[in-house]
Amino acid sequence: MTVSYRQPGVVLTDRHFTVPLDHADPTGETIELYAREVVATDKAHQELPWLVYLQGGPGFGANRFVGKGAWLGRALKEFRVLLLDQRGTGHSTPANRQTLPLRGGPSAQADYLTHFRADSIVRDCEAIRREVTGGAPWTVLGQSFGGFCTVSYLSLAPEGLTAAIITGGLPSLDAHADDVYRAAYPRIERKVAAHYARYPQDVERARRIADHLIANEVVLPNGYRLTAEAFQSLGIVLGGSEGSHRLHYLLENAFVRTPQGPALSDAFQEDVQGLLSYAGHPLYALVHEAIYGQDARATAWAAERVRAEFPQFDAAKTLAGDGPLQFTGESIHPWMFDCDPALRPLRETADLLAARADWTPLYDPARLAANEVPVAAAVYHDDMYVDTAHSLATARAIRGLRTWVTDEFEHDGVRAGGTRVLDRLLALTRDEA
């Protein structure tokens, strides 16, 4: 049943679709997808071109906007927008600790999750496009991992696209996960240095918290074991436009005095568990490194292995000296499946995915070199999550792609920049800028 309802300035319609789990077996098992159609109230009865939004992640449902927030207001001036909950996320058939045991044991769960990468998401889009648009091509907007999916779209089904817009999401076409993280750790270190330059008082605060966590076992109210390494992973927020400020405000009230001595405050623990828990998006942790798998090599917990090449990220070694504690960024580690109660039942499944060595290519360099779809991409100058050099190399490999390289925004520029980022990229696809 299709249900429509209203928010300020927009009409929303819930859309549900049935697609194959494995698009290579179209008569086999199916899963459900959910998407929210959005149109401006004054255009609700008009025939409009479609724009489908692919959320960052992997493992996150599409943004839940209220009205015309962020970039959506600009899109609604001329498009009918489809906010897709990619397979396994949001209101689509979920993949988490509660549902995955329905598949069977860890081996069956890992096999199931091999169908949750960019290539399957593109095939989903093509399956529902025919139902949504009647077969007409549409514009895709891909943020972060959604940009990875968009490059797969250009590789696998460019005939489905009128134009492609990518924000902070041009992936390397051939880098192994090891290469991705070798490029990532120096970027993270720069972001941490910039944070401490802005808030020098946080150097001692971060060291004190990490020292406390090494000396004491701390279990957060939701059952998360807060170790020094887990605390360091809060650095993931530094890739956003307000991330440094958020981290500062988190650190400034970490301790309270108790009859037993200093302790981490309830307020600090509550905020930390909200930032670290994967209960709402476990698929992110499960398939994060798999999005870089493209050949017969296992990812093999690449972020953890490569981290050992950068000893400055070892908290215990840092605390033995007088240097600043390094935070980490967008990386998944095996110990997370021990710390987080939402991930603990999935540890063996995650290990099996990390050991897989039969990944298929996600991109087609030859087809990208012959691309005819108008494409524009925002590349953020020192993006913490996606390597700028990798992005620019890919931009050169996609025929006709136009880049907007800027240091005005962080990775979340399409949100933080309001209408400006989408407006600029649409203009680039139309040779108007």
**Active-site residue list:** 144, 358, 411
The tokens for 174 are 């051939």
Query: What is the full DSSP assignment across 217-254?
Result: --B-TTS-B--HHHHHGGGGGGGSTTHHHHHHHHHTT-
Q: Distance between CA 301 and CA 244 in Å, rounded?
A: 27
Q: Which residues pair with 38 in a beta bridge?
A: 12, 81
* Non-local CB neighbours of 279 within 8 Å, separated by 6+ positions: 222, 340, 341, 342
Q: Round to whole Å and give the CA distance between 175 and 11.
A: 42
User: What is the residue whose two structure tokens read 């001036």?
Assistant: 77
Q: What is the CA radius of gyration of the chain?
A: 22
Give, for 96, the enclosing helix (H) or strand (E).
none
Helix (H, G, I), strand (E, B) or coil at 366: helix
Q: Answer whether 77's CB lies under 8 Å from 135's CB.
A: no
DSSP character at residue 63: P
CB neighbours of 12 closer than 8 A, spacing ≥ 6?
4, 5, 6, 36, 37, 38
Pair 217, 209: CB distance under 8 Å? no
Q: Are strands 261-264 and 3-7 parallel, antiparallel or unpaired?
A: unpaired
How many CA atoms does the CB half-sphere of 94 hold within 13 Å? 11
Q: Are 283 and 116 in contact (CB under 8 A)?
A: yes
**Residue type at 258 in one-letter notation:** T
Tokens of 329: 């960024």
